[in-house]
Structure 1
Amino acid sequence: MRSHQQSALMENTLHELLFHRQPPSPTKMVVYLPYHFVGMDQAMHAIKMLRKQKMRIRLLIHEEVFRYYDKKEIVERTEIDDWITIQVLENMKDLDFLFLPILSFSLVSNILALNDHDRFVRFLLQSLFSKRKVSALSIGMDPNHSVWKEDQLTHGTPYLKSKLKRELQLLQSVGIQMIEPDEIDCFFSKSDQKKKVITAKDIQQFLYKKEKELVVDQQTIVTPLAKDMLKQHQINLISE
């Protein structure tokens, strides 16, 4: 990591010292990073974006990731060097967020099969039952996402694509909230949690109306990707 960037581990250790005796403690998040053949760049960038939030962020990495990335590269790309083991995760009692920046097929399969022989999946299921917030980026399970096209992965059969879409819906039905990379900043920001957020998906639906302007109030956040889509389709954004 570049020298001017402060270590996440150092920041988190300071938080522990500063808030050991006096509340409130910072919001705590664990990011679980498995390996998947599509979306890893976006996953690591999403983790890096989380560094902007005033949270204690710790990273749990599946061992398969190290077949493709060394430790130094992961730290440089995520800016997180505070890594934990599954044993540490299992003993966390005050965790606020569990975040999955990439959804691999095997991970999704284990979650939907309620496979509690997988220790991480068991913890995730416990989190859902205890109302802990669990969220994920949908890229790895969304073959219609532009990333799949960029990687030339567009030739799956209609059945295969519909199966992935169905599994995404099932993940949402069990309580995992799906978000897009351009929602990271506002989704985890306490100051923005009560505000309405317009994302690229919302703009895609808005395009069907064939209107030339979108009117929002001062409390509405329009993500950068959504703004780009508005410009691309020559739709005026009006804030009242």
Structure 2
Amino acid sequence: MDSRHSTVAANTLLGLAYRSREAELTQDYPQVLTLLCSHFIGMEEGFAAIRKLAEGRVRLRLWAEESLLLTLTPEELAVRSGVDDHVRSSRPTPPSTLETDALFIPVLSLSLLSRLTQLDTSDSFVQAIVSALCAGKPVGAIALGAQPQHYLWGERGLAQVRPLLQAKMQAMVAEVEGYGITLLEPDQLSNWPASAAAPLHKQVLTAEDIHTAYRLGSSRISLRQQAIVTPLAADLARQYGIELQTNSKR
């Protein structure tokens, strides 16, 4: 069979697979935005993690960084990841955190890690991650690409990492974990993001928040479900004409 026929056959099988999941994809499952980076280690494990997560009751959307799209076509990405819903743009605007229930980073590359520790929100991935964290959305990452003590580094002949470089990587990983990013092992994906979906604490809106919003000229405040609004805050919001809008997403 020539390459043209092989491509047609592969696309046909892929289409059948997705159509067989059509009923599942229409369910009200959590939507997880997957940020896929290119890295010199952990790519196969990252693709396997995406496929594993896709087996659960979630809806996945894949956002691949531009450098990865230079080496893999969207069709190849769909085959390797099992996800055909892609953010399609060479320089995409980050999807709204209100449209996403969780973020998943299957390959925490050193490049992304460095930009994230610098809070470089001019980078689209960093902006999406920071926005999700600020909105209380679960963000999970598999960090073996920044953990030279992991056995995979030895298998790839990359075990000769000097102590200073290893300490730098560990410090950056610890820093982003402190931001609220959950570090995951591949065997933990069956329990995530459901285990992390509950907010760390309830949102409480006080009179001080209303005064601050009024001084800033805000006309609307978005609230999570289960948010607590103090009576004085509710009275001030009516007085200042500030709408309290409950977000239907978690």
Q: Which residue of 1 aligns with 2:238?
A: none
Q: Which residue of 2 aligns with 1:70?
A: 73
**C-alpha contact (below 8 Å) 1:97/1:133 kept by paired residues:** yes
Aligned partners of 1:157 and 1:132: how far apart in 2? 36
**C-alpha contact (below 8 Å) 2:137/2:197 kept by paired residues:** no
Scaled by the length of structure 2, what TM-score is found? 0.66
Q: Which residue of 1 aligns with 2:178?
A: 173
Q: Which residue of 2 aligns with 1:145?
A: 150
Aligned partners of 1:95 and 1:114: how far apart in 2? 21
Deviation at 1:106, TM superposition (A): 1.4
Aligned partners of 1:120 and 1:183: how far apart in 2? 23
1:126 is aligned to 2:131: yes
**1:78-123 Cα distance to aligned partner (Å, 9 max, x none):** 1111101464643352311100000111111111101111122112
Deviation at 1:10, TM superposition (A): 6.7
Q: Which residue of 2 aligns with 1:7?
A: 18
**C-alpha contact (below 8 Å) 1:40/1:102 kept by paired residues:** yes
Deviation at 1:14, TM superposition (A): 5.2
Match of 1:37 among 37, 40, 57: 40
1:59 is aligned to 2:59: no
SS at match of 1:74: helix
**C-alpha contact (below 8 Å) 1:38/1:140 kept by paired residues:** yes
**Amino acid aligned to 2:179:** V
Q: Which residue of 1 aligns with 2:243?
A: none
Taking a change above 3 Å as real, the CA distance of residues 111 and 12 of structure 1, as seen in their structure-2 partners, is: farther
Q: Which residue of 2 aligns with 1:184?
A: 189
Taking a change above 3 Å as real, the CA distance of residues 148 and 94 of structure 1, as seen in their structure-2 partners, is: same
Aligned residue-pair number: 185
Structure 1 gaps of 5+ residues are 20-24, 195-240
**C-alpha contact (below 8 Å) 2:142/2:183 kept by paired residues:** yes
Match of 1:27 among 19, 25, 30: 30
Deviation at 1:13, TM superposition (A): 9.4
Q: Which residue of 1 aligns with 2:110?
A: 105
Q: Which residue of 2 aligns with 1:94?
A: 99
**Amino acid aligned to 2:45:** Q
SS at match of 1:54: coil
Aligned partners of 1:52 and 1:6: how far apart in 2? 13
Match of 1:116 among 121, 129, 134: 121
Taking a change above 3 Å as real, the CA distance of residues 73 and 95 of structure 1, as seen in their structure-2 partners, is: same
**C-alpha contact (below 8 Å) 2:97/2:135 kept by paired residues:** no
Aligned partners of 1:126 and 1:95: how far apart in 2? 11
**C-alpha contact (below 8 Å) 2:43/2:107 kept by paired residues:** yes
Structure 2 gaps of 5+ residues are 1-9, 199-250
Aligned partners of 1:177 and 1:12: how far apart in 2? 30
Identity %: 26
